A and B are shown apart, each in its own frame.
Chain A
Amino acid sequence: MNAHFNPEMVAIILASAVATYVTRIGGYVLIRKMKNIPPRMEAALNAVPAAVLTTLVAPAFFAGGIEVKIALAVSLLAGMRLSTIPMLLAGWAVAVAIRHFGG
């Protein structure tokens, strides 16, 4: 355990940081260059958050064990009525309970 830096690692980190920042500012720069946004592009942009966030959930559901599948299903139902924290607690409790008592 130490705090020194390997030059190759630092180069990889900083290149990745620049690449990441380009993705974070890139969409803004591109959209400012366009005067009018066509309706289909507007619809596409409107779909972005749900589309991207879904890709972070679906593989976890399909690749996860039965307890992850049930926890996500319970969370989905809870999320229709409850806010984020109770939803997190409900899903987490279900996964832990199944692992503890079911496994």
Chain B
Amino acid sequence: MSRSEFSEGITRSIPIVVSASPFAVLFGAIAIANGQTIGEVALTSGTIFAGASQLVGIELFGHHVPAWLIVLSIFAVNFRHVLYSAALAPFVEHFSASQKAATFFLLTDPQFAETLKRAETGTKVTFAWYMGLGLPIFVAWVLLSVVGAYFGRLMGDPARFGFDVLLPIYFLALVLGFRRRSNFLPVVVVSALASAIAHKTVGSPWHVSIGALAGVLAAALMPPAKAEEAKSASGAAAEDSQ
């Protein structure tokens, strides 16, 4: 492993850890309130490792929803990862099989966005850099969930300190990172409207899958000339990263 690549990844992980921390603490606090033990909180964060879906799952558990429906809802919230791992495929092809297994385990929203950003600027994505980015996020997520389980109720409502706005702002920053892509504006507008409508009508967590699907369909239905442009752009990025 290259030490400098690893520490470069760690540096990139800092803003992610900062903005995700309140949500790890929040998850731990809510999980305890909804009937999980400390050990179960650690097991949940360490094996599922997907914040939004964990909050959805524990919320449903608190409402005594059947087990299969909890698992299905978590699957629905996390379905977007299918698209992430497909999009990352060309950039992690040089990893070994076990490296890929670890890589995809750590594939969160910010992990995906940072990795794609790096690949598209023409920098090769190394396993050391990827782990430098992903491991601090994973370790912080599990530890702070447990901290939240112990102390979370002391903190009370995260809105009191304005922590609740950090996650949407962070996701907005990630969206803006893609603003130079072809079809950016139509995709964002369609996804925003579809997810907001779905959030109001069908409800959470389905708005994530519905909104994303609408935006992706919009891109697929755009005139093929633009698709060619996108193809040559991503092809160039793929070549640069070799």
Contacts and interface: CB of A to CB of B under 8 A. Distances in A.
Which among A54, A79, A87 has the greatest number of chain B C-beta atoms within 10 A? Answer: A54
Given A58-B193, A92-B166, 18 more contacts: A4-B39, A5-B39, A19-B78, A20-B75, A20-B81, A21-B105, A28-B89, A28-B104, A42-B227, A43-B219, A47-B215, A48-B87, A51-B216, A58-B211, A72-B169, A92-B165, A92-B169, A96-B161
Contacts of B208: 52, 55-56
Interface residues of A, number: 73
Interface of B: 15, 18-19, 32, 35-40, 43-44, 47-50, 52-53, 57, 61, 67, 70-72, 74-75, 78-89, 92, 100-101, 104-105, 107, 109, 112-113, 116, 149-150, 159, 161-162, 164-176, 178, 181-184, 187-188, 190-196, 199-200, 204, 207-208, 210-222, 224, 226-228, 230-231, 234
Given A12-B70, A20-B78, A68-B165, A53 B83 contact: no
> Interface of chain B, helix or strand or loop or mixed?
helix
Interface in A1-53: 1-6, 8-17, 19-32, 39-53
Contacts of A88: 15, 18-19, 166, 169-170, 173
A20 to B, nearest CB: 5
